Structure 1
């Protein structure tokens, strides 16, 4: 029996086989992206006011959420038996990768952050630590480009008419496909540029190079967008459940 069936009264979904938590994932991912930008900006302008313990706590909380949910979604095929196995890749694997990165940053800042902040150029010191993992970040960026292309080609992310707000665009699936794919692509741009950002920060912490500016802008914009979109989805997803039970 299919989890989702179309009856005369409208779409019906067996929610026991359709777990979903990309709501909290979206907020955590957005906060993580925005947090990285804010930390870098603080290190550039007022390094003496940076709290290594505070940022460690922030990244630890966000990393734990993304790693836990992302790992479960990555290893459970399909997480949603109603027919959305591509969500395992799109949301699960990307959240897992970002979550582990945030946890790594959290552990380092907790154990060595205060020491790094006492150095003459703290941002340059942190950039040297981040350089080895920047290859993985760049690879995730390329993966995000793949997700963006797939989202438009296969018209993914479209909400059914029964979902409030987002469902208003159900007749035009490309609208949400373009919106979500654009967000993934923008994050991907920053991720692909990240190795160049790290290399620039190692040499001159006070100089805003083009890669640094672009990465800061796209991650700040998408961070805010994912926070707002995730918050909205707490309403829209609840509405979808009520309308399809």
Structure 2
């Protein structure tokens, strides 16, 4: 089912074969990105006031949501048999990767976080722990670049006219393609820079370098946008279902 077919009047969708989770996925991913930025900022400014258990619970909740939905979407091919198999890659695999990373961070903060925060240079201690996995995070960033390019080239992410709000741009599929691809690219930029961020923080005299600033800004901005976009989609997706049953 392509975009032109979806744009037909009287569109009917077999929702039993079209499950989608990118509503809750979007909010969880946005909260995870924003949470990482806030945690690092707190550790840099007032590490003694950081509650490791609280952040462990937060990342554990978000990681569980993203891992569960992402794993199901990744292993069930195609999840949306009605015509969107690329969603398995775009939303499923990326959510799975981010979710497992958040779960790993949750376990570490629960077991060792309080000890790390009491060290003379807590940010350096956390950075040394994160350095081995930074290669994988950088790789995920490159994957997000690939998704961004594919989104624009193949004009993905376009909503049908039956979907409230987003459907107003159905005649211009490139609009939503550029918007969503831009979000993926910005998150990818922060992920690609993450190894350099870790390298900046792992020394005793942690420096706020350009990669640190860029990663903080792009993850904070995209985190907020993903939360708002996911919240909006709870309305727009319900509306799409009602209009196409």
Q: Distance in 2 between matches of 1:64 and 1:170?
A: 34
Residue pair 1:162, 1:244 contacting (<8 A) in 2 also? yes
Cα distance change on mapping 1:67 and 1:6 into 2, 3 Å? closer
Q: Distance in 2 between matches of 1:38 and 1:128?
A: 19
User: Would you say 1:217 and 2:217 are equivalent positions?
Assistant: yes
Q: Distance in 2 between matches of 1:50 and 1:67?
A: 26
TM-score scaled by structure 2?
Answer: 0.96
User: Would you say 1:163 and 2:163 are equivalent positions?
Assistant: yes
In the TM superposition, structure 1's runs of 4+ consecutive aligned residues that sit over 2 Å from their partners are 5-9, 204-207
Q: Paired residue for 1:132? A: 132
Mapping of residues 84-233 of structure 1, within 5 Å: 84-204=84-204, 206-233=206-233
Which secondary structure state, in structure 1, belongs to the residue aligned with residue 11 of structure 2? Answer: strand
Cα distance change on mapping 1:220 and 1:7 into 2, 3 Å? closer
Q: Paired residue for 1:62? A: 62
Aligned residues: 241
Which secondary structure state, in structure 1, belongs to the residue aligned with residue 84 of structure 2? Answer: coil
Q: CA RMSD, aligned part only?
A: 1.3
Q: Distance in 2 between matches of 1:51 and 1:7?
A: 50
Q: Distance in 2 between matches of 1:43 and 1:106?
A: 16
TM-score scaled by structure 1?
Answer: 0.96
Q: Which runs of 5+ in 2 are unaligned?
A: none
Which secondary structure state, in structure 2, belongs to the residue aligned with residue 12 of structure 1? Answer: coil
